[in-house]
Amino acid sequence: SITYHQVHIFPIGSDGARIINVSSTGHKKGKINFSDLNSEEKFDGWEAYNQSKLANVLFTKKLARELEGGIIE
């Protein structure tokens, strides 16, 4: 997965370039626990998994908005 900062460091030179992020339906059950992002206070494997999938989806949507109108579709 390419991060927002890497897009600016490594320019993509071909028209129609794409960034693909693979996730799962786990994002639908995910909740971002901003007070304990690393699950240090309480760890549950499925909650952590679902939170990470939701974070991936939210990041991808934000990245798409930031890159809209550029060469990446």
Q: Which residue has the tokens 């909740």?
A: 31
Instruction: Out of 23, 49, 59, 67, pick the active-site residue.
Output: 49
Within a 13 Å sphere around the CA of 47, how many CA atoms are in the beta-carbon half? 12
Question: Is 49 annotated as catalytic?
Answer: yes
| Terminal Cα distance for the chain, rounded | 15
Whole-angstrom distance, CA of residue 42 vs CA of residue 7: 34
Which residues form the catalytic set? 49
